[in-house]
Amino acid sequence: MDKENKFRKINYSKIKLDPENPRLPGSFRRGRKEEKDLINWMLLEAATVELMYAIGQNGYFIGEQLLVVEDKENPENYIVIEGNRRLTAVKLLNEPELANVKKSAISEVIENTEERPQDIPCLVFEDKSEILKYLGFRHITGIKSWKLLQKASYLYDVYHNEFDDKNFITKCRNIAKNIGSSSNYVRRLITAFNIFKKVEDEGFYSISGLDDTKFHLNYLVDALNKKNIKEHIGVNINSNTPLKDLNQKNLKELIFWWFEKTEGLPRVIGDSDGLKKLDLILGSEKALEAFRDGKSIDDSVELTKDIDSIFRTEIIKSLERLESADNLTHKVEDFYSNLYEDLKMIRKLALKIKEYKDQIEDSKDEF
C-alpha cells in the first residue's frame, strides 16, 4: 500500500456518496443528483435495509474500511469510492429522515437496533485511479462481483482514464493484468459496452419496455464469442478499432430479435443455446432468409443442415409423435370425428415416401 494512503476515522457526515458509482445505471447518473437521490436508489436497488440492520445490531466492523478521496470542491469533506452501500446504511441509521422510500422498513430497523456509528474507518487515497485498480480485482474477478453492466461501466471508465498512450488491444491487456482477468474477456466487455451506448443513444430503438435497467449486456458479451454473429454486426474484437465496420442496420435487427416481444416472448433468447442457434442461422443465407421471413428459430436452424439430415430428423420426429399418440390410445374415451381421415392421410404420405424411395433405388439398378 502506498505511504500516502492514510487510515483515518472520519465522521459519516463529512463523507459524500459517489455520484459516479458504477452500481448506478447510466440513465440515473445523467444530470446532477442530490445525496437524497443516491440514498433512495441504494435503498431500492442495493439491499441497504438488511445492511442497516446488521450494522445497527453489531456496530461497524473496523476491517470494512471505506476507500475515499478528498472532495476537491470542498477539501474538508470526502467522497467514498468503495463502500457506498455501507455509508448509506450508516447515514440512515443516524438520519432515517433522509429516506423517501422504505420508510416503514427503516423505522423497524431503528426500533430494533442500538448501534449508531458516527466515525467510520477510512483509507484516504490521493487519487481515485489508485482505488479503481483495486475495485477491478474486487468486483470483477474477486469475491464481491458486480452485475455485468456495472463491471462494463467500470472498465469503460478505466479504459478512458488510464493508459492514454496505448492502443485498444494493449490497453485491454494491461487492464486484464491489473484485475486478474483475460484480455479476451476485457475486450469483449468494453466492446459490448460501447455497442450498448450506441443502442442507448438510439433510445433502444423505441422497443417497448427496454431501457438500461432491462438490457441484458451478457447477450452482447457472449455474442462476441460467436463468429457469425460478430460478422453479422461487423465487429472485430481482435482489431484496434473493433467497431470501425459496425453494421448499424444489422445491429438494430439483432437487438429487435433479442428484446422485442410477441405474445410475451422474443424471437431469440440470448442464452447459450439461443446464441448457438442464432450463430448457425447467420452462417447460412438460406436459413437467415427464412428466419427474416418469420420462420421460428428451430425451423430456421434445420435449414442450416443438409437435406438428408433434415429428412431423417423429420421422419424421426413424426414417428415419435405417432408413438406418443399410440401410447395414449387406450386412455381415449371419445375419438375425434376426423381421426379416420387423418389416419388415411398418414398412410397415404408414408406410401408416397416409400414409392419415391423405391423409384430411386430401382433407377440405380438400371444399366
Residues in the chain: 367
In sequence order, which residues have a C-beta less than 8 Å from that of residue 134 and are 6 or more positions away? 67, 82
CA–chain centroid gap for 126, Å, is 33
Q: What is the CATH number of domain 6-126?
A: 3.90.1530
pLDDT digits (tens, 9 = 90+) for 158-200: 787 766 667 899 988 888 877 777 889 889 999 999 999 999 8
More confident call, 128 vs 272: 272
Report how far residue 218's alpha carbon sits from residue 38's, in angstroms, rounded to the nearest whole number.
26
- Going by the DSSP 8-state scheme, the letter that residue 127 receives in this structure is -
Q: What is the mean pLDDT of the chain?
A: 86
Identity (one letter) of the amino acid at 56? G
pLDDT of residue 30: 64
pLDDT at 341: 94
Q: Which residue has the cell 399410440?
A: 326
In the chain, helix, strand, coil percent, each to 5? 60, 10, 30
Q: What per-residue confidence (pLDDT) applies to 328?
A: 93
More confident residue, 171 or 246: 246
Alpha-carbon torsion (264, 270, 272, 277), positive or negative:
positive
Identify the pLDDT of residue 362.
Answer: 72
CA–CA gap between residue 306 and residue 311 (Å, rounded): 9
Q: pLDDT tens for residues 296-342? A: 999 999 888 767 777 888 899 999 999 999 999 999 999 999 999 99
For the chain, give the longest Cα–Cα distance: 101
- pLDDT single digits (tens) 106-124: 999 999 999 999 999 998 8
pLDDT reported for residue 155: 81
Q: So what's the pLDDT on residue 263? A: 81
Separation between Cα atoms, residue 296 and residue 137, nearest integer Å: 42
pTM as predicted? 0.57
